[in-house]
Amino acid sequence: MAHSPFSRRALLLATATLVTAAASPAATAQTDWPQQPVTLIMGFPAGSGVDVVARTIQEPLAKQLGRPVIIDYKSGAAGNIASEYVAHAKPDGYTLSFGTAATHGSNAALYKKLPFDVEADFIPVAPVLDVSNVLTINPDVINVKTLKEFVELVKANPGKYNYASTGNGAGTHMAFAEFNSRLGLNMVHVPTRAGRRRSRRWCAGKPAAS
């Protein structure tokens, strides 16, 4: 009995998981895969954390597969644009995407209607990595030395300080929103694009934290 090159396992075992469009067992039972380049659809901007991970594994993955791995950027809507593209792609294993805590987790709850089913339309291929969120501050905006000082200052000035994320509904947005909720903080969310543009905003001294 031929086995699919893609094993089913629990989605979101890690922050980033390679996924591909779902198909019937007959469609994915290929013992000679791959026979052509594999395209990795990137749902986040160049220079973002997910993109850095993709570029890190791009060459080793290509060597292992014996075929080129091409990164195609379709960023926007917290990864939904890329997810929709992959969900509707030919289910032959040649179109992959990074499933994140946003694309295959919180987005399903945040958006009233998605043009794909986060469970039925995808098959997890392999967990890639698990990362932790780290609180960073802009000392030109909020000059504190400890987390305790940060919380005390923000609580004393409700609505005064902003926090940046990589976009509405992104994992960084959800993590900081939960952080604020648990500690009773009132901060203004400023969604920004990832990569160099976000770095320039930091240098301009706009958000207090991220």
Q: By three-state DSSP, how is residue 123 classified?
A: strand
63 and 125 belong to one structural domain: yes
Q: Which residue has the higher pLDDT, 123 or 185?
A: 185
Q: What is the mean pLDDT of residues 49-76?
A: 93
Whether residues 23 and 85 fall in one domain: yes
Structure token digits, residue 197: 């543009």
> Among residues 96, 129, 162, which one ends one of the domains?
129
Number of domains in the chain: 2
In the predicted model, is pLDDT for residue 30 greater than 80? no
Whether residues 45 and 73 fall in one domain? yes
CATH number at residue 68: 3.40.190.150
Confidence band for 5, pLDDT divided at 50, 70 and 90: very low
* Same-domain pairing of 22 and 115: yes
pLDDT, position 95 = 93
Tens digits of residue pLDDT in 97-116: 988 888 888 888 888 899 99
CATH number for the domain including 158?
3.40.190.10
In 27-110, beta strands by DSSP E? 38-42, 69-73, 95-100
**Whether the bond into 34 is cis, omega within 30 of 0:** yes
Separation CA 46–CA 10 (nearest Å): 28
- Structural domain for 75, as ranges: 16-129
Residue, of 133 and 23, whose pLDDT is higher? 133
Q: What is the pTM of this model?
A: 0.74
Same domain, 33 and 112: yes
The confidence score (pLDDT) of residue 206 equals 67
Both 28 and 81 in one domain: the answer is yes
**Digit-coded pLDDT (tens) for 130-172:** 878 889 888 888 989 999 999 999 999 999 999 988 777 777 8
Does the structure show a pLDDT above 70 at 14?
Answer: no
> Same domain for 119 and 25?
yes
The pLDDT, as a whole number, for residue 174 is: 86
Cα angle, residue 27 at apex, residues 25 and 29 outer, rounded to 5°: 65
Select from 173, 99, 107 the least CA-distant residue to 130: 99
